[in-house]
Amino acid sequence: MKALVLGEFGEQAALLDAARSLRARGGARLDLHSPYPLEGADEVLGLKPSTVPLVVLVAGVIGAISGYLLQWYTVGYDWPLNVGNRPPHSPAAFIPVTFELGVLFAALAIFFGLLAAWFGFPRVHHPVFEVEAFRSATIDGLWLSAEVEGKDAEGIAAELRRLGARQVSIVPEAT
């Protein structure tokens, strides 16, 4: 059973220091929540480069290829259409649709890729919102969340208090 430990900090430096020392301790999946972009958060959390761009590129290329094949098969091969006496298979005329399908597939891949990778779809409600005070993360609060094994939650909470957290909450049974 996983639990989520939340701690609120008043200063950016204290938040980053706490994240750094919890990361050194290990055993917890850390995340930071703040109303504005935090400089240095990537490095403190040890985030790897996102895989989303690669997924989008692959999806875009697949979209472009299938857009071209769709046109070639329908009007160039299976049922050749004479449009203004151009050859049925006219690459120049196929480019706009090819481009649009590439863009469409790439955009859908971003949308569904982010839903799956970042929001953990089909989960519809993130456990951080169990804590009422967490709303300050969109106003003026700097929050650290740590996903840990249930039995470690108390230890991490004590550690967060020691590192200077203004308030600490535990969300049990956060899956």
Partner 1 sequence: MTLSPYQGGRRLLSISAAVGAAGLALTALGSALDPRRAVYAYLVAFVYWLGIALGALILLGSLHASSAKWSVVLRRFLEHVPAVLPLFAVLFVPIVLGRHQLFPWADPGALEGELREAVAHKARYLNVPFFVARAAFYFVCWIAVAHFLRAWSLRQDAAGGVTLTRWQRRLGAGSLPLLGLTASFAAFDWIMSIDPRFYSTIFGVYWWAGSFMGAFAVTNVAAFATRGDPSQFGAHMNLDHFHALGKYLLAFVAFWAYIAFSQFMLIWIANVPEEVPWYILRINGGWLWVGVFLVLFHFLVPFFALLQRAVTRSPRRLALVSVGLLVVHWVDLYWLIMPHLDARGPRLSPWDLTAFVGVGGVAVAFTVWRMRGTLAIPVRDPYLEVSLRYLPR
Q: Which string of x and - marks every residue 43-62 that binds partner 1 (by CB under 8 A)?
A: ------x-------x-----
Residue 86 interacting with partner 1 (CB under 8 A): yes
Residue from the set 24, 84, 132, 151 that interacts with partner 1 by CB under 8 A: 84
In angstroms, give the least distance from the CB of 57 to partner 1: 7
Residue from the set 39, 81, 122, 124 that interacts with partner 1 by CB under 8 A: 39
Q: Which string of x and - marks every residue 9-38 that binds partner 1 (by CB under 8 A)?
A: ----------------------------x-
As beta bridge partners, residue 30 has: 146
Cβ atoms of 63 and 103 within 8 Å: the answer is yes
Token duo for residue 110:
């971003």
- Amino acid letter, 133: A
For residue 9, give the H/E element and its range: strand 2-9
> What is the Cα–Cα distance from 105 to 91, expressed in whole angstroms?
20
Cβ atoms of 9 and 168 within 8 Å: the answer is no
Binding site for partner 1 (CB under 8 A): 37, 39, 49, 57, 84, 86, 92-93, 95-96
